[in-house]
Amino acid sequence: MSLANGRHTLAIPGPSVMPDRVLQAMHRPAPNIYTGALVELAATLVPDLKTVAQTRHDVAMYIGNGHAAWEAALANVLAPGDEVLVPATGNFSHGWAGMAERMGIGTRLIDFGKRQALDPARVAEALDADKERRIKAVLCVQTDTATSVKSDVAALSAAMKATGHPALLMVDCIACLGCDEMRMDDWGVDVMVAGCQKGLMTPPGMAFVFFNPRAAERRAAMAQVSSYWDWVPRANPEQFYQYWCGTAPTHHLYGLREALDMIVHEEGIEAVWARHQALAGAVWAAFEAWEKDGPLELNVRDRAIRSTAVTSLRIGAPTGTELRTWLTEAAGVTLGIGLGMATEEDPKSDGFFRVGHMGHLNTHMLMGTLGAIQAGLDALGIAHGAGGLEAAAKACAAGS
Ligand SMILES: *Cc1c(COP(=O)(O)O)cnc(C)c1O
């Protein structure tokens, strides 16, 4: 006998739950990629992607995952020998910085650890000290998916502008585009990267690089950019082929079209952000009650710097892995692993787990996951404070 039978729930921070409508839109024979409906469909994605990013400027689409978006963005505005400043708030800043290094770009890291947002003043200080203007860009991760720390991109941008330093502001929104608020133009973001498999509810395989005129100017001054990564033809294609530098990601286009219909044309991007905020509030309410007793602890203390897309928890090794395993095997819900939290005592991050709450998510789905976590805490005899589910239900009621 198992209570795990029934529809399995994936509550990891990407890939996220795909709406049945998205899957159904993709379930069709191969289309013609030279003329016809698919060619017209691709052009309709562009304005909707810009709405999601809140930009009037350009977007280039790629076949690829988030790492492809990282490399594409770097390749268009940075050359070997250039330097970037990386204020790190967890795992993914280090990943992006490492990729820059492999491309011959020098990196200066300011490490804010795993539990705090970046401090714009420290970034401004580093830019002020760079009298020779060697730093060409600041690489910021809005939501670090490992730590669930969210940084204030608008404040970072304002602090950068106040220095008069010309470095571009490049932001990774791969975890949180379509979840956490992002106003690319209002916030003065020059380059923004995202993928389709998290907030955008589409199977992994499409990556996006948004860029403004300041970034386009930098691109124009580059001595060379590889033909695959070059964003120029992708942002202003004369033929359908140029969007992709080859064959289109045919079925992803149908899936993404459906997802953008849901996000932009049915729910509305502001309402999508508000839904994420309300549901994240329910997650926080539950864990804030549970953490009052026993080993469980939210990784990020301050609500203002918690992502609305993912929540990272500390519970001590090996309990994190035991709880996740129990939930998958006995309750039918898969939570995210601890990522990038390894220490000498806990080399595999077994003392951590994450709850993804991004994209296609409602009260029913979230309360189901939280209820299963409560069952897991009870089943494994893990001490915890009372009233987590009550608090979550109240938060959903208040946010509705
Ligand atoms: C998921 C993620 C990435 C990497 O995306 P992949 O699709 O796995 O390559 C990078 N940055 C952030 C913030 C992410 O959440």
301-313 pLDDT, tens digit per residue, is: 999 999 999 999 9
Q: Which atom of ligand 1 is nearest to the CA of 13?
A: 15
Q: Summarize the confidence of residues 78-92 as an average pLDDT.
A: 98
Burial class for 104, CB neighbours closer than 10 Å (0-12, 13-18, 19+): exposed
**Amino acid letter, 66:** G
Strand ranges inside 166-229, DSSP E: 168-172, 191-195, 206-211
Q: Are 317 and 350 in contact (CB under 8 A)?
A: yes
Task: Kindly list the distances between the CA atom of residue 28 and the CA atoms of 5, 182, 255, in Å, as whole numbers in the listed order.
Answer: 29, 33, 11
The finding on whether 92 has its CB within 6 A of some atom of ligand 1 is yes
pLDDT tens figures, 131-147: 999 999 999 999 999 99
pLDDT-based confidence at residue 184 (cuts at 50, 70, 90): very high
Residues 160/129, Cβ–Cβ less than 8 Å: no
Atom nearest to 142 CA in ligand 1: 13
Indicate the pTM of the whole model: 0.98
Ligand 1 pocket, residue 360 CB under 6 Å: no
CATH number of 268-399: 3.90.1150.10
The pLDDT of residue 148 is above 90: yes
In the chain, % of residues over pLDDT 90 = 99
Atom of ligand 1 lying closest to residue 68 CA: 9
3-state helix, strand, coil in the chain (%, to 5): 45, 15, 40
Q: What is the pLDDT of residue 182?
A: 98
Categorize the per-residue pLDDT at 175 as very low, low, confident or very high, splitting at 50, 70 and 90.
very high
CA of 35 to the centre of ligand 1 (A): 33
Q: Is the CB of 14 under 6 A from ligand 1?
A: yes
The pLDDT mean for the chain works out to 97
Please, is 345 exposed, middle or buried when counting C-beta atoms within 10 Å of its C-beta (0-12, 13-18, 19+)?
Answer: exposed
CATH 3.90.1150.10 fits 29-248, yes or no: no
C-alpha angle 49/54/57, rounded to 5°?
75
Token match 């600041």: residue? 138
- Residues 49-68 have a mean pLDDT of 98
In the chain, where the domains are located: 29-248, 268-399
Q: Residue 117's pLDDT is what?
A: 97
Distance CA 126, CA 160 (A): 10
pLDDT beyond 90 at 400: no
